[in-house]
Chain A
């Protein structure tokens, strides 16, 4: 693997463009996005449906390939790398927390947490794993399978996986989308802890409450970053979303 910079931003996008489909019917998802996510930052990405926020996350994580521009993940340019190389890179440095479908149904909690390490052929540090499990509050559940856990508990397993692997970056896609308010707050609290412990967090969400846990919020409209908001409060985020929504409505009306 090429040398990587230990300082600076673990995730960097440079003029990234991405279009789905071709020709007239093509939909521009990202229209030249340049952004950096500094180490230890917790960033929320927001925007109306179809604004390209999920595509931004996918491209940043190397799950999808941009048409133009470059993506640098933990100092490695993703261009030209094949699936296996990308996988190994992600396995080493990246964790995911999705809205659902986070866990392998056949494996128990502990196996799910250690899976990336096992796949990489590393022996997990048992004491550390126990500590992580303790921290997300699943000590009583290590032997259970995902089917026997609640939605909140399943998300906590996913976060424990990010913690256990000491990933540099955690990408979260609507992590609280399927959870009730109390559980959602618990999960967000854990993500916040993760960031405080030095991990970089990139979270796509439409929930102003979730966004308020972040250090900064990026607002995306039509594949472009239109606003950045530092130290966001729930009301400010909600107001900005409402404003962007109204703008979009107006724009559609003009057409």
Chain B
């Protein structure tokens, strides 16, 4: 038998003597591996962005407008456009002339909603209008009637026809682009294997309804017989540059909005969360190992005395851990499949991601998760097992001595480095644009926790010394031993302290940084706009006629459509890169308009046509002044040259660029505004305005009227989605850290069986030992909470400062819940482990082998 195999065999043999510690490592690696595989799934999903097309299923190749903005400063990076980018009509002929193309079927989408007696039928999916030509893309086939040939005819999909209760030859009311419903004759009913409504109009009429004149939204391409779709796609990309050519499951991104935009958030989500899991796993594995190594000093020393070299002892501890970790990771493969699917369905179910996106979890996820889990376990175990190699054979001859609380120089240096990085990250956050600040400051909770983990034993000893008298006063007689233990067993205590600190820091840091940022974003938006009433269309668009109707309501002073989008200033480039600026499309030429931001120079009266009102901060940064012309890149990739007609005060960290609504709206996916902001005339009561607008819009199908809060709500809804992702992450990270805390706590208590036995032989009652342990647990919980809260401040405070709120904002219950959770973990687990540890009689415990 080779020495290596002896070491491995010995490792295996001693596992059963360390069931608790083995279980702790097993669970930590299992859960960690599962979560990593789940992250890997999200990452893989983001890379492939697969979504099976439905309405475009028949076209093997789908072409859309440019995929994204090639950044002027980093040409290799392409940022997807937030809005659908169309194909210039002139390029259709070019597409058709590519060899191997049999047919090019253009498609244009516009807002069209069937309006029945009870209102709009599918207000949540208003973009359902198409020309009949594009029916071939699904393909839709007529089950009844004929195709729409003339103006005033429509073909409905089966579900819509059924819901409206009409048949071929009947009449149906349809609101197109927010106009009042018009009656159309049902020319036929079509069927395809799709979900969602589809209303087909004659080609001529569809062209008339199009809100993106001069472009088509996309084109489906049918290859000639025998031409491979992939080859054809490559040829098209080569011969007609500047377009986005898609095949297979990539085509879904052309059909469903938000697929491309999901990539960056998903990668960030997977990256940030994965990093968090890795840190927790490393800390837990190393904490468990240091705990057991110290508890086994004598055994390891004996092994050394028996002839094992330091390397062999180190290898044995490493082997023990890796055997358990390997089992954990293998079971984690199963868990990862399950958890990944759960997280994904939760995110799509809550609207964080488009539901059509397909969850991908393949070799990258499973292989990566497995390799990362084992790699990080190995690295953590390798370092944590170093003290095992330092076990001196001499120690085998003496009673087990308790190691001193002092950490070695390497650890102290590491702690200083990580503490320094934490401060640097916090300071760096202050100078970051608010939008990306969260990605910068997030890791601060991790580096801070690592610093605490490294210096933990000294910290623990310091607290016990410094606050010992106080704890003794509070805790009474049983606290005396608890305080002494906290000092002398500082190393073991620190192992438990780490996960508690980490869980607290991650929970508080993530949640409060997020709520603070959201508060600032929503506040900035809401503060920028002032409206007494908000009219929301139920048909996907507000038509000029509706705006007129509202304008004529008594007491109404000013009315503006509200269009929101994102875009860049391209010339001179604003450098926003993957985080484009916020664009507001408004009509604020009236003296008393809906824009609340004070104008510092120029006039909003001129904000019409190709003009822009720029926040002063942005203008200063780019050295622009009133009257300058700038080139903007809008959300659909269109370039517009606009003249600066006004500069706006920009007190908040989230300034928006204001464009005329008429200019911005065509460059959004829907092409039209969906909301109207209404201000009352001077001296008008807001409630009176709301009721006046309500009655003025009573005859408009689906239009709803809200009060001024509705402005905030519309932004809050999208902000909530981001917040929810952070909550989800925080909850998972906390749960993981909590499991870790339970593990290490149980191991720490159970490893002291012999000590409790001695104590009881010396006359302590079970209850006294237990209350000693409870006080120790209390010290740990309080210290962990204090440290965790302190670390989280390095994330939250910079976020508050950079977003301009100064004081962190968020629900207090989260903080209280974290406190409650920590005590709910520490005390019951301590009580249970104490019970287990004292199950045997004291004399048995004292003479127990392997202690």
Contacts and interface: CB of A to CB of B under 8 A. Distances in A.
A105 interface: yes
A87 B304 contact: yes
B850 A106 contact: yes
A202 to B, nearest CB: 14
A152 B302 CA distance: 18
Contacts of A121: 2-3, 6
A116 B394 CA distance: 17
B308 interface: yes
Contact of B308 (A96, A119, A147): A119
A72 B811 CA distance: 72
Contacts of B393: 63, 87, 90
Contacts of B303: 104
Given A63-B393, A146-B849, A87 B13 contact: no
Given A104-B303, A105-B850, A119-B3, A83 B309 contact: yes
Interface string B1-29: 11100110010011011000000000000
Contacts of B307: 87-88, 90-91, 115-116, 119-120
Contacts of A107: 10, 13
A83 B298 CA distance: 17
A213 interface: no
A192 interface: no
Contacts of B302: 101-104
Interface string A44-60: 00000000001000100
A193 interface: no
B591 interface: no
A169 to B, nearest CB: 13
B849 A118 contact: no
B306 interface: yes
A122 to B, nearest CB: 9
A98 B394 CA distance: 11
B306 A116 contact: yes
A120 B17 CA distance: 25
B839 interface: no
Interface in B231-287: none
B182 interface: no
B149 interface: no
Interface string B182-193: 000000000000
B20 to A, nearest CB: 15
B102 interface: no
A104 B310 contact: no
Contact of A105 (B6, B7, B17): B17
Contact of A83 (B1, B13, B310, B396): B310
Contacts of B310: 83-84, 87
A145 B393 CA distance: 22
A84 B309 CA distance: 5
Given A98-B396, A98-B397, A147-B850, A104 B309 contact: no
A90 B394 CA distance: 13
Nearest to A118: B6
B311 A123 contact: no
A106 B14 contact: yes
A139 to B, nearest CB: 22
A96 B396 CA distance: 11
B305 interface: yes
B299 interface: yes
A173 interface: yes
A119 B394 contact: no
A191 B187 CA distance: 110
Interface string B352-395: 00000000000000000000000000000000000000001110
Contact of B299 (A104, A111, A123, A145): A104
Interface in A111-148: 111, 115-116, 118-121, 123, 145-147
A20 B10 CA distance: 35
A64 interface: yes
Given A54-B397, A106-B14, A106-B17, A118 B306 contact: no
Contacts of A88: 307, 309
A101 B14 CA distance: 16
A103 B312 CA distance: 17
A173 to B, nearest CB: 6
Contacts of B17: 105-106
A101 B401 CA distance: 14
B754 to A, nearest CB: 13
A64 B6 CA distance: 27
A147 B849 contact: yes
A90 B305 CA distance: 8
Given A101-B302, A104-B306, A119 B13 contact: no
B304 to A, nearest CB: 7
Interface string B290-304: 000000001100111
Contacts of B311: 84
A106 B10 contact: yes
Nearest to B13: A106
Interface in A66-111: 83-84, 87-88, 90-91, 96, 98-99, 101-107, 111
B45 to A, nearest CB: 45
Contacts of B2: 121
A91 B6 CA distance: 15
Contacts of B16: 106
A101 B3 contact: no
A77 B484 CA distance: 44
A107 B299 CA distance: 12
B6 A119 contact: yes
A147 B299 CA distance: 14
Interface in A190-236: none
Contacts of A101: 298, 302, 396-397
A192 B305 CA distance: 22
Contact of A96 (B3, B14, B305): B305
A147 B493 CA distance: 29
Interface in A155-195: 161, 173
A119 B306 contact: yes
Contacts of A106: 10, 13-14, 16-17, 850
Contacts of B6: 115, 118-119, 121
Contacts of A146: 849
A236 B452 CA distance: 61
B5 to A, nearest CB: 9
Contact of B306 (A54, A84, A115): A115
A253 B81 CA distance: 95
Contacts of A173: 397
B309 A63 contact: no
A84 B308 CA distance: 9
A54 B394 CA distance: 10
A173 B395 CA distance: 13
B314 to A, nearest CB: 11
A54 B398 CA distance: 11
A146 to B, nearest CB: 6
A119 B382 CA distance: 20
Nearest to B1: A118
Interface in B390-416: 392-394, 396-397
Contacts of A90: 305, 307, 393
B622 to A, nearest CB: 65
Contacts of A91: 306-307
The 5 closest A-B pairs by CB, nearest first: A91-B307, A106-B14, A105-B850, A147-B849, A116-B307
21 contacts: A58-B397, A63-B392, A63-B397, A87-B304, A87-B308, A88-B307, A96-B306, A98-B396, A99-B397, A101-B396, A102-B302, A103-B302, A104-B10, A104-B302, A105-B17, A105-B849, A106-B14, A107-B10, A119-B312, A121-B6, A147-B850
Given A106-B14, A111-B13, 12 more contacts: A84-B311, A87-B309, A101-B302, A104-B14, A106-B10, A106-B13, A116-B306, A119-B307, A119-B309, A121-B3, A146-B849, A161-B306
Interface of A: 54, 58, 63-64, 83-84, 87-88, 90-91, 96, 98-99, 101-107, 111, 115-116, 118-121, 123, 145-147, 161, 173
